[in-house]
Amino acid sequence: MDELLNSLVETGLRGGTPTRSEALAVLRTSDDDLLDVVAAAGKVRRRWFGRRVKLNYLVNLKSGLCPEDCSYCSQRLGSQADILKYTWLKPEEAADAAAAGVRGGAKRVCVVASGRGPTDGDVARVSRTIEAIKERTGGVEVCACLGLLSDGQAERLRAAGADAYNHNLNTAEATYGDICTTHTYDDRVATVKEARTAGLSPCSGLIAGMGESDEDLVDVVFSLRELDVDSVPVNFLLPFEGTPLADQWNLTPQRVLRILAMVRFVCPDVEVRLAAGREVHLRSLQPLALHMVNSIFLGDYLTSEGQAGKADLEMIADAGFEVEDAETTTMPAHRNGAGGAAGGAATSATTVAQEAAAVPDAPVPESAVPESAAAGRPERPQARVAVRRRGAGTELPPNA
């Protein structure tokens, strides 16, 4: 175990890439070694991001009634989940919601709309919304998440003031067809590349807990590394009643921590964001995750409720971390400049390949892969996912 963790830390401190066998070994470590794994990932996190935690705030511009059939999503085609459903927020309504998040400490506002992808009219609408948010908040970072992009749309969003674009890969290419049939994995990759070409900081992540294998998790994280995205949101499936994955309660707090450690080791110098599902699956172990991630969402999510914003801030302070301020550049210096104002990736694909080649595919110690690591499915909790009933699209104040 010491050999494995020492290798991972050494590689991560110089921004290199571990081997796939090392990444798999992290997912298969025992509970007895878990704190050592967290501590090792914490060394890499502090090397690049110190003790700063970036806060992000979601504004759901249009909720529900999506024509896509993504199995994990409460807004999907055919979903029976009892979520909020509403059409587009007005720009001033979105700006009000964004301002609440910024008052709570958010440095980035993520504006999201359900659907396959925006029409040109939708892009114009969101552009006006971005401008309203920037004017109301004094220039907060804005990340747009609108689905698959057509030619020229990313450039228009960038011109309107968007800093970043989010489009998650979600799972491995080999198993993508198991969770969605209305678009492809390649469609998602193309949109991430489109955003980067337009000068938007590329943001793309994954969802764990959908029944995927360890190999699937490693594959998608290595794909994100190869795409050289600036931020990686790590979501954990919220099994909404009324969706095809409602019975997929596959995660334990320990499993979640191992996944976060693996992501940090594979993507050492990028923003790793703890996203949806942290409250449900990590529960009392949420503070431990801060030793590996450098970014979280504040308050509620798109269709589910999160921990109280005040509790998020208390958790960060109690764990010995600090909220990243607006004047601080999130990304390490070598990654700034190529991907927009939010801090793009300046590291070339050649450099990444050279770093990866410098790490030999060393054998993993047998003690790092115990037979018991994947044994036993966690019991389904009695509590259900808490559906969001406040904030955007309602008359109630937001959670920020």
144-161 pLDDT, tens digit each:
999 999 999 999 999 999
All residues at 6 or more sequence positions from 388 whose CB lies less than 8 Å from its CB, including other chains: 83, 84, 300, 301, 302, 303, 304, 305
Nearest by Cα to 345 from 233, 205, 230, 199: 230
245-263 pLDDT, tens digit each:
999 999 999 999 999 999 9
Q: Exactly one of 45, 52, 73, 278 is catalytic; which is it? A: 73
Chain centroid to Cα 264, Å, comes to: 12
Beta bridge partners of 272: 232
- pTM for the structure as a whole: 0.88
Concerning whether 110 is annotated as a catalytic residue, the answer is yes
Q: Exactly one of 45, 52, 70, 108 is catalytic; which is it? A: 70
Query: Per-residue confidence at 235, pLDDT binned at 50, 70, 90?
Result: very high
Q: Exactly one of 203, 264, 278, 335 is catalytic; which is it? A: 203
Count Cα atoms within 13 angstroms, Cβ side, for 89: 30
- Which amino acid belongs to residue 238? L
Beta bridge partners of 170: 206
pLDDT above 70 covers what percent of the chain? Answer: 88
Concerning whether 143 is annotated as a catalytic residue, the answer is yes
Query: Per-residue confidence at 12, pLDDT binned at 50, 70, 90?
Result: very high
CATH of 13-360, one of 3.40.50.970, 1.10.287.3510, 3.40.1160.10, 3.20.20.70: 3.20.20.70
> Where in the chain are the domains?
13-360
Concerning whether 145 is annotated as a catalytic residue, the answer is no
Note the pLDDT of residue 83: 85
Note the pLDDT of residue 20: 98
Q: What is the mean pLDDT of the chain?
A: 89
314-332 pLDDT, tens digit each:
999 999 999 999 999 999 9
pLDDT above 90 covers what percent of the chain? Answer: 79
Q: Exactly one of 66, 145, 180, 267 is catalytic; which is it? A: 66
Note the pLDDT of residue 375: 43
Whether 393 shows a pLDDT value over 90: the answer reads no
Whether 342 shows a pLDDT value over 90: the answer reads no
Q: Exactly one of 45, 76, 143, 158 is catalytic; which is it? A: 143
Beta bridge partners of 203: 166, 231
Mean pLDDT for the stretch of residues 292-309: 93
Q: Exactly one of 110, 145, 180, 267 is catalytic; which is it? A: 110
Note the pLDDT of residue 399: 87
Concerning whether 273 is annotated as a catalytic residue, the answer is yes
pLDDT: which is higher, 76 or 164: 164
105-145 pLDDT, tens digit each:
999 999 999 999 999 999 999 999 999 999 999 989 999 99
When mean pLDDT is compared across 105-119, 166-180, 345-359, the lowest value belongs to: 345-359
Concerning whether 158 is annotated as a catalytic residue, the answer is no
283-298 pLDDT, tens digit each:
999 999 999 999 999 9
The CA distance from 12 to 354, in Å, is 14
Whether 341 shows a pLDDT value over 60: the answer reads no
Write down the residue that tokens 């969003």 correspond to: 157
Residue 338 has phi, psi (to 5 degrees) of -95, -15
90 φψ region: left (φ > 0), alpha (ψ -120 to 50), beta (else): beta
Note the pLDDT of residue 65: 84
Note the pLDDT of residue 76: 87
Note the pLDDT of residue 217: 98
Q: Exactly one of 273, 278, 335, 388 is catalytic; which is it? A: 273
Note the pLDDT of residue 383: 52
When mean pLDDT is compared across 187-196, 251-260, 285-294, 354-363, the lowest value belongs to: 354-363
Concerning whether 267 is annotated as a catalytic residue, the answer is no
